[in-house]
Structure 1
Amino acid sequence: MLSRTASELYWMSRYLERAENLARMLEVSYSLSLMPQDGRGDGLDELAMSLLSTGTLELYQERHGDLNAARMLHFFALDPDNQASIFSCLRAARINAHAVRGRITADIWENINATWLEMLNISSEGLGRYGISRFCEWVKERSHLFRGATYGTIMRGEAYSFIRLGTFIERADNTLRLLDSRYEMFGEESEEVSDLSARGYYQWSALLRALSSFEAYTEVYRGSPDARQISELLLLRADVPRSLRACMEELNHILSHLPGDNGRPAQRLAAELDARLRYTAIDEILDEGLHTWLTDFILLVRQLARAIHSSYLEAV
């Protein structure tokens, strides 16, 4: 497969996964911002967590100044000048899909194109009229339809592999950043929240719901969510679809089955990261410091993304 085609398939998938991740994060942050704050503020800090996790806090402040709920929601959802907005992600996914129409099925293309056309209608209508919760549910639904069309209609060849690579690189990065942004927002308090704290319960529950892992948590553990168990679930359990370990297992499997020798650096790094997670215990992570460990692994995932890019996506 030509590296240009592989790149467009990979980024098409990454942008769609990114849009879904943003919608999940935005929906939960918005819901938390509406809850009583017990004298801790007006709920804007919950929305600001989204800015931290996407690394766009400085960009927002440069353009809009003080935090404002309506401006933040528009910034994340519909701002065409914010490259990290859902609008921009869906636009970029459609551009990449159009470039590789010959390598994807009609079902995949029609899903992505219809999503973009409806996005334009929502943008013209505005969130105030459409509704933020309804919008986030729509984004998640369109992403589910894309994955269903991909899994159900495309041949299990290189095109499928590069689409899946994009999905799991983006998902791994998102899981790490959500955990890390929570630490940045609440600092040591995030590790000291009592099981009896209503605020702590809803914050941890919101994090689990943002990663579709609340039901998994209640099935595996007993009692209220706490930092140790949530970290173990989202980092080290292979049976949780959005956990870091599940993503790394998929990446290692996909890369190990791609043909050719050019991908050896990416294959080696993916295998190393997969093995590291397989044989790491949560107490080792917490002894090192959760924030330190997450920061280091974010850089490792970024390094793996660069290795994939140089091995497969750059023209030789």
Structure 2
Amino acid sequence: MLSRTADDLYWMSRYLERAENLARTLDVSYSLSLMPQGGLGDGLDELAMPLLISGTMNEYLKRHGQLNADRILHFFALDAENPASLYNCLSAARSSAHAVRGRITADMWENINATWLEMRSIAEQGLGHYGVSRFCEWVKERSHLFRGATVGTIMRSDAYHFIRLGTFIERADNTLRLLDARYKLLGEDSEDHDDRSARAYYQWSALLRALSSFEAFAELYRGSPRARKVAELLLLRADVPRSLSSCLEEMQKILAGMPGDNGRPAQRLVAELDARVRYTVIDEVFEHGLHDWIIESIDQMHRLGNAIHSAYLEAA
């Protein structure tokens, strides 16, 4: 496969996964912003969280000067001038899909093209007319439909592998960033039944719901969600689809099946990362410091992305 084609397939899936992840981030922040804050911040603090997680806070402040709920929502969701907006993620995904139209199935193309056309219609109406929660659910639904069309219709060739590779590396990075943002906000919350503990319950529950992991948590753990339990679930449980461990396991399988010797650095790196997570227990993570552990993992995911790019996506 030409590196240019592989690059478009890889980034098509990364941008679609990124759009879904951004919608999850926006949905949880918007929902929490509507709750009574109890003197522990305000709704604007919650709405600003997606800007901090996506690294677009400075760009927002440069253009708008101060935090404003409606402007934050538009900037993050539908702003065509914000490269990191949901609007531009879906635009980039559609452009990449168009470039590899001959390598994806008709079902995949029709799904992503219809998604982009509807996104443009939503942008014309405005988020206030459409509704924030409804919009976020729509983005997640369109991502699910594309993933279903991909798994159900495309041959298990290199094209499929690059699509899946892009999905899992983007998903792993998002899970790490979302967990880190909530942990920095709450810390290792106490078990006392006070306002902070109640706030922690809703914050951790919202994070689990944002990552479609609330039911898994309820099945595996007793009691209310707390930092250690949530971190263990989202980092170390390979049976939870959006966990770091699950994503690394899937990427290792994909890269191990890639032909040729060019990918050995990426294969070695993902195997090292998978082993680091597989043979770690949550007490070791907290002894190291959860924030530091997550930041190191984000850096390692960046290194893995660079290794994949060098091995497969650069023109020879």
**TM bracket (short chain):** over 0.9
Q: Is the 8 A contact 1:201 1:224 kept in 2?
A: yes
Moved more, 61-70 or 246-255: 61-70
Residue 191 (structure 1) aligned to one of 188, 202, 207: 188
1:144 corresponds to 2:144: yes
1:19 corresponds to 2:19: yes
1:251 corresponds to 2:248: no
Q: Which amino acid aligns with 1:112?
A: I
The residue aligned with 1:200 is: 200
Q: Is the 8 A contact 1:240 1:246 kept in 2?
A: yes
The residue aligned with 2:41 is: 41
Distance 2:305 2:71 in 1: 32
CA pair 212-11 structure 1, distance change in 2 beyond 3 A: same
- Cα deviation, residue 195, structure 1: 5.8
Distance 1:225 1:311 in 2: 40
The residue aligned with 1:77 is: 77
5 Å-filtered alignment, 1:81-100, equals: 81-100=81-100
Moved more, 38-47 or 95-104: 38-47
Q: What is the aligned-residue identity percentage?
A: 73
CA pair 226-102 structure 1, distance change in 2 beyond 3 A: same
Distance 1:191 1:270 in 2: 30
Distance 2:40 2:256 in 1: 49
- Cα deviation, residue 240, structure 1: 0.2
Q: Is the 8 A contact 1:195 1:226 kept in 2?
A: no
Distance 1:255 1:64 in 2: 43
Q: Deviations over 1:158-190 (max 9, x none)?
A: 000000000000000000111112233x2xx42
Q: Which amino acid aligns with 1:273?
A: L
Please report the TM-score for the alignment, with normalisation by the length of structure 1: 0.97
5 Å-filtered alignment, 1:1-316, equals: 1-184=1-184, 186=185, 189-194=186-191, 196=193, 197-316=197-316
- Cα deviation, residue 45, structure 1: 1.1
Q: Paired residues, what number?
A: 313
What are the ranges of 5 or more consecutive residues in structure 1 without an aligned counterpart?
Answer: none
Distance 2:284 2:302 in 1: 22
Q: Which amino acid aligns with 2:26?
A: L
Distance 1:87 1:162 in 2: 23
Q: Is the 8 A contact 1:195 1:201 kept in 2?
A: no
- Cα deviation, residue 193, structure 1: 3.9
Q: Is the 8 A contact 1:168 1:251 kept in 2?
A: yes
- Cα deviation, residue 7, structure 1: 0.2
Distance 1:182 1:84 in 2: 21
Q: Which amino acid aligns with 2:103?
A: R
Distance 2:190 2:146 in 1: 38
Distance 1:193 1:62 in 2: 38
- Cα deviation, residue 90, structure 1: 0.2
Distance 1:13 1:70 in 2: 29
Q: Which amino acid aligns with 1:37?
A: Q
Distance 2:174 2:284 in 1: 22
Distance 2:288 2:103 in 1: 45
Q: Is the 8 A contact 1:195 1:225 kept in 2?
A: no
Distance 2:191 2:68 in 1: 30
Distance 1:199 1:256 in 2: 43
CA pair 254-123 structure 1, distance change in 2 beyond 3 A: same
Distance 2:287 2:42 in 1: 34
Distance 1:195 1:214 in 2: 22
Q: Deviations over 1:196-240 (max 9, x none)?
A: 321110001011111110110000000000000000000000000
Q: Which amino acid aligns with 2:9?
A: L
Distance 1:245 1:195 in 2: 31
Distance 1:25 1:195 in 2: 28
Q: Is the 8 A contact 1:173 1:298 kept in 2?
A: yes
Q: Which amino acid aligns with 2:289?
A: G
Distance 1:183 1:177 in 2: 10
Q: Deviations over 1:260-301 (max 9, x none)?
A: 111011010011101111101111110000000000010000
Distance 2:49 2:179 in 1: 10
- Alpha carbon RMSD of aligned pairs, Å? 0.9
What are the ranges of 5 or more consecutive residues in structure 2 without an aligned counterpart?
Answer: none
